[in-house]
């Protein structure tokens, strides 16, 4: 992919789910998050916050004239419980509160133990809870699945059950997004023949990090895949790096990505 660093930064900004999923989050922190999305360089695809802040994030985005920015939240987060009813109830409440997108954690530990059914049932039921009102992004927690076979199988199950996106990670474990996991997930999407999207989350801290995933997606899925409708990055600290590049400054690489 022959893009300049600035072009990469501009594209990645458009593909970001700017994220704050910290136990210390407060309405003031979410206001700060929303304000950071209102830059002269363009806005991210979405803001991802805990369910209790969905209404506030919506309100602040309206105040800042960021109505084009989607509000995403998380359910069954971060442990990936096998309790389908609870995951569905959390998803229903999130959609009822106005979430445009829901990132649900796949019950990855159950899959590791050999149970494929609970993951399928959870994704299918949460997709039904989202109906036409919200996108469902399924977090596979690939760093915990560990083996290529399990990553591939989790991808297939989530896609078959109706996921709108499959996502690498919560950002809350030791190993998050990796190019190796991304490749397997993208190949599963390609071979499914569906319109499922892909989201890399965790450890993507710079435009250079992000470019690795853009290259992979372009090679496997083609250039048209690189749109907010099909491809996302889940990140927080990445924004500082992107803004520095777009401002023509020396980019800082520090930050946390979820």
**Does the annotation count 103 as an active-site position?**
yes
**Measured between alpha carbons, how far is 54 from 48 in angstroms, rounded to an integer?**
9
pLDDT at 236: 83
Does residue 257 belong to any structural domain of this protein?
Answer: no
pLDDT at 253: 43
Number of structural domains found in the chain: 1
Average pLDDT over residues 218-238: 96
**Does the annotation count 7 as an active-site position?**
no
Does residue 95 belong to any structural domain of this protein?
Answer: yes
Tell me whether the omega of the peptide bond preceding residue 78 falls within 30 degrees of 0, making it cis: yes
Does residue 152 belong to any structural domain of this protein?
Answer: yes
State the catalytic residue, choosing from 103, 137, 164, 209.
103
**Does the annotation count 117 as an active-site position?**
no
* Host domain of residue 175: 5-246
Does residue 52 belong to any structural domain of this protein?
Answer: yes
100: which residues sit within 8 A by CB, 6+ positions away? 46, 70, 71, 72, 134, 135
Does residue 25 belong to any structural domain of this protein?
Answer: yes
Does residue 252 belong to any structural domain of this protein?
Answer: no
Q: How confident is the model at residue 3 (pLDDT cuts 50, 70, 90)?
A: confident
Does residue 256 belong to any structural domain of this protein?
Answer: no
Does residue 238 belong to any structural domain of this protein?
Answer: yes
- Rounded to two decimals, the pTM is 0.95
State the catalytic residue, choosing from 17, 137, 167, 209.
167
pLDDT at 2: 64
Q: How confident is the model at residue 82 (pLDDT cuts 50, 70, 90)?
A: very high
**pLDDT tens across 93-120, in order?**
999 999 999 999 999 999 999 999 999 9
State the catalytic residue, choosing from 58, 127, 137, 199.
199
Q: In this structure, what CATH number is given to the domain that contains residue 23?
A: 3.20.20.70
């Amino acid at each position: 992919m022959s893009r300049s660093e600035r072009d990469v930064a501009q594209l990645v900004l458009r593909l970001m789910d700017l994220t704050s999923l910290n136990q210390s989050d407060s309405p003031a922190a979410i206001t700060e998050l929303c304000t950071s999305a209102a830059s002269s360089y363009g806005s991210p695809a979405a803001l991802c916050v805990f369910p209790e802040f969905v209404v506030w994030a919506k309100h602040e985005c309206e105040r800042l004239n960021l109505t084009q920015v989607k509000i995403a939240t998380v359910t069954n987060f971060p442990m990936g419980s096998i309790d389908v009813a609870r995951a569905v109830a959390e998803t229903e409440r999130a959609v009822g509160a106005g979430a445009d997108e829901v990132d649900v954690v796949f019950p990855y530990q159950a899959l590791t133990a050999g149970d494929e059914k609970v993951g399928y049932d959870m994704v299918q039921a949460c997709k039904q809870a989202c109906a036409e009102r919200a996108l469902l992004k399924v977090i596979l927690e690939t760093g915990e699945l560990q083996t290529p076979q399990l990553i591939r199988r989790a991808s297939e199950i989530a896609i078959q059950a109706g996921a709108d996106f499959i996502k690498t990670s919560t950002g809350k474990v030791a190993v998050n997004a990796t190019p190796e996991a991304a490749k397997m997930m993208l190949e599963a999407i390609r071979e499914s023949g569906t319109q499922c999207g892909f989201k890399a989350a965790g450890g993507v801290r710079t435009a250079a990090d992000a470019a690795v995933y853009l290259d992979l997606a372009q090679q496997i899925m083609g250039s048209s895949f690189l749109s907010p409708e099909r491809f996302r990055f889940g990140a927080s600290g990445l924004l500082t790096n992107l803004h520095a590049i777009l401002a023509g400054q020396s980019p800082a690489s520090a930050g946390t990505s979820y």
